[in-house]
């Protein structure tokens, strides 16, 4: 059995400098009950990232939704977030696992694996709770990202004792394809946060027939 099992929408925040607006739209998305929320802001200075992530953590606590911090283990530990997501160059996975475990039980560690099976195997062995593959489709956030083979989702679900995340160009219309291919979670930015009603859009992802 997998260490932890989440199913459905993994909502990822867009770059947004206005904390009040970001909090308001995240609150709407949380109303749709995503499985997890990731705070991601590549352009914000450190102080703003701390302010925003702390505000979102309070909202996530109220909603009962885990908050994952993108790319920044120290920030995740500082605000006592539920976990961290590491991409290539964001630090050693095994070291991050040790630091998270020392901070308390149940902390979540995710790793970006792109289209690389070996990276997923190594991440799982080092203590990751989920592995993320992508881009599965053309992505507005990362338009030049190489595509990941769909077959990786099924293989990871079959062979690795971790949750499997698909990311990149995901919409409500193509999410079921990824679910059927083996994804436990679909990581989405634009199709949720750019929707006219983000809360309803998040709820629509939840309503898909996740096992």
- Active-site annotation holds for 99: no
Q: Which of 184, 187, 135 is nearest to 160 (CA)?
A: 184
Q: CB-hemisphere CA count at 13 Å for 24?
A: 7
- Active-site annotation holds for 40: yes
- Active-site annotation holds for 139: no
Residue tagged active-site, from 50, 55, 119, 142: 142
Query: Hey, what are 24's tokens?
Result: 């308001």
Residue tagged active-site, from 107, 112, 139, 179: 112
* 113 burial type by CB count under 10 A (0-12 exposed, 13-18 middle, 19+ buried): buried
Residue tagged active-site, from 40, 99, 107, 179: 40
Cβ-contact 182, 11 below 8 angstroms: no
- Helices marked H in the chain: 19-31, 46-63, 73-78, 93-103, 117-125, 151-159, 175-181, 190-193, 198-206
- Just list the catalytic residues: 40, 112, 142
């Amino acid at each position: 059995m997998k260490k932890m099992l989440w199913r459905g929408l993994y909502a990822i925040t867009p770059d947004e400098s206005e904390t009040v607006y970001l909090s308001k739209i995240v609150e709407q998305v949380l109303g749709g009950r995503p499985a997890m929320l990731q705070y991601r802001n590549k352009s914000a200075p450190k102080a703003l990232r701390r302010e925003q992530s702390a505000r979102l953590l309070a909202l996530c606590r109220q909603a009962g939704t885990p908050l994952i911090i993108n790319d920044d283990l120290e920030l995740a530990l500082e605000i006592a977030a539920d976990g961290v997501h590491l991409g290539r160059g964001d630090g050693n996975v095994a070291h991050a696992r040790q630091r998270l475990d020392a901070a308390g039980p149940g902390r979540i560690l995710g790793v970006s694996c792109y289209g690389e099976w070996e990276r997923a195997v190594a991440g799982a062995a080092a203590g990751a709770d989920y592995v993320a593959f992508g881009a599965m489709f053309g992505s507005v956030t990362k338009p030049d990202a190489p595509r990941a083979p769909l077959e990786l989702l099924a293989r990871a679900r079959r062979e690795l004792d971790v949750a499997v995340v698909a990311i990149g160009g995901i919409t409500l219309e193509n999410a079921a394809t990824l679910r059927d291919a083996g994804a436990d979670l679909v990581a989405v930015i634009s199709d949720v946060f750019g929707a006219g009603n983000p809360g309803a859009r998040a709820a629509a992802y939840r309503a898909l027939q996740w096992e």
